Amino acid sequence: MVLRIHNTLTDSVEEFRPIEPGKVRMYVCGVTVYDDIHMGHARSIIVFDTVARYLRYKGYEVQHVTNFTDVDDKIITRAAKEGIDPLELSRRYIDRYFEDVSKLCVNRASCYPKASESIGDIIDMVEKIIANGFGYVAADGSVYFDVSKVKDYGRLTNQKVESLQSSGRIADDPNKKGPLDFALWKAAKPGEISWDSPWGKGRPGWHIECSAMIYKNMGPRIDIHGGGNDLIFPHHEDEILQTEAVTGEPLSNYWMHNGMLQVKGHGMSKEEKMSKSLGNFFTVRDVLQKFDGHTVRFYFLNTHYMSPLVYGKDMLNEAESARGRLVNNYRELRSYVSRTPSGKAAGNEIEEYRRRFCEAMDEDFNTREAIAVMFEMAKESNKAMADSSMSREEAEARIALIEEFDSILGIMPDDDEDDGTLDSVMSILIDLRKELRARKMYDLSDLIRDRLKEADIVIEDTTEGAKWKRA
């Protein structure tokens, strides 16, 4: 099966062909570390973690790089309020970032370069941009990219220069020659963190850090560049310009962008993107007080990554309930194996489910359709277990397939979350209820059932005996 990816640059779904056979170089824009990550950040992190997982599943050697912007206006402002060094503030939130994403079952990227540790590489790239005629030094010592030297600016957004100028996202700056010119190097302001450069003390512009980190860690050209679609303009448009001004070749063959996580506007029905600047964000840390990381992953992955998604507690509750059906099926299969004798070997259904799952993922990482395959398999498994028509070998094969799928999705319980102890305890309680009912001690039997329900465990009395599942 052929992997196809929606490429923002061409606005079409294209067959994936890596630059180097068997290897993928993927860069994903990271976060500005001045606060805890919010659920909007989590969507991008989980999406591209899943992309990397699937690429590895297909046999690719994946170099996955994501950065930290650890020096920035927002960082400087917050650090000043707290009376600490900006890099100290950044280190605090980098540590908290890793704490949060680990609970989201996110695998570590290959490396996490920081802007503050890439100053030499950034200065080298800015010097090359100037030498190649695309940059200029302003009177205050800032350095800008001269957009007028480029004829195809706006290719990623498929917009003309005129429409970009009127977009309202261009800051006024008297030092710039043109309104679309952007800072490569910012002259230091009094009291701000700064580094020495050929143009005086200053710090990097936002866009240049990503170009420099890609060039340093992955070379002049990469396979996939990812991030949220709010980064397309100006960040990714500007990345393209400044990198190509140095290398003379395209920065990335494929550009992937996830849709925004939205919330209801303040007092309005209209949705708006989740953003710290708008004050409408929910931190991952707060959400994880109520929902586990697997549920959060399921919530995001049960929608195609490009689609907008509206955040709400009720939607997470729905995700928790839906995921619970898959988890219960997984646990019931394990229990079924323990009490079912050997029989016929697994049939062709296993390979068919694998084919359909991979077919969905190959079509632009369609996790929603892949999860639908898992639900269909669960439904069929439940029916086969109910009438005892499934052999132990087939049940074992289905368990293995669920675990195989989960190596990509990361939505099932961890081993330490479900080590079989609960199954044993529930077996004892079910036997106890059976004995109590036989002695006509229905009050005690019902008390056990009700107290378990309070713990989100449901006991169902069936013709085949009592069974349990998570609510």
Average pLDDT over residues 91-104: 98
Confirm if 260 and 229 have CB atoms less than 8 A apart. Answer: yes
Q: Identify the burial level of 153 via C-beta atoms within 10 angstroms of its C-beta, where 0-12 means exposed, 13-18 middle and 19 or more buried.
A: buried
pLDDT of residue 280: 77
Binned at pLDDT 50, 70 and 90, residue 268 comes out as: very low
**Whether pLDDT at 77 is above 70:** yes
Task: Tell me the C-alpha distance between 466 and 303, whole Å.
Answer: 35
134 versus 167: the higher-pLDDT residue is: 134
CA 316 to chain centre: 16
55 versus 437: the higher-pLDDT residue is: 55
pLDDT of residue 281: 79
156: region left, alpha or beta (phi > 0 left; psi from -120 to 50 alpha): alpha
Q: Which residues have a Cβ under 8 Å from the Cβ of 292 and sit 6 or more positions away?
A: 103
pLDDT tens for each residue of 176-232 = 999 999 999 999 999 999 999 999 999 999 999 999 999 999 999 999 999 999 999
Residue entry with tokens 């952007």: 182
**Nearest alpha-carbon partner for 300 in 126, 103, 41:** 41
**Whether pLDDT at 347 is above 80:** no
Confirm if 324 and 470 have CB atoms less than 8 A apart. Answer: yes
As a whole-number percent, the residues of the chain with pLDDT over 90 amount to: 76
pLDDT tens for each residue of 15-29 = 999 999 999 999 999
Q: Which residues have a Cβ under 8 Å from the Cβ of 91 and sit 6 or more positions away?
A: 70
Binned at pLDDT 50, 70 and 90, residue 143 comes out as: very high
pLDDT tens for each residue of 300-333 = 999 999 999 999 889 999 999 999 999 999 999 9
Average pLDDT score over the chain: 91
pLDDT tens for each residue of 223-237 = 999 999 999 999 999
29: region left, alpha or beta (phi > 0 left; psi from -120 to 50 alpha): beta
What are phi and psi for residue 449, nearest 5 degrees?
Answer: -60, -45
Q: Which of 52-61, 312-321, 450-459 has the lowest mean pLDDT?
A: 450-459
Alpha helices, DSSP H only, in 226-274? 237-247
pLDDT tens for each residue of 147-179 = 999 988 999 998 876 666 544 445 668 889 999
Rounded to a whole number of angstroms, the distance between the first and last alpha carbons of the chain is 38
Q: What structural domains and CATH numbers belong to the chain?
A: 4-258 (3.40.50.620), 313-417 (1.20.120.640), 421-470 (no CATH)
This prediction has a pTM of 0.87
pLDDT of residue 1: 81
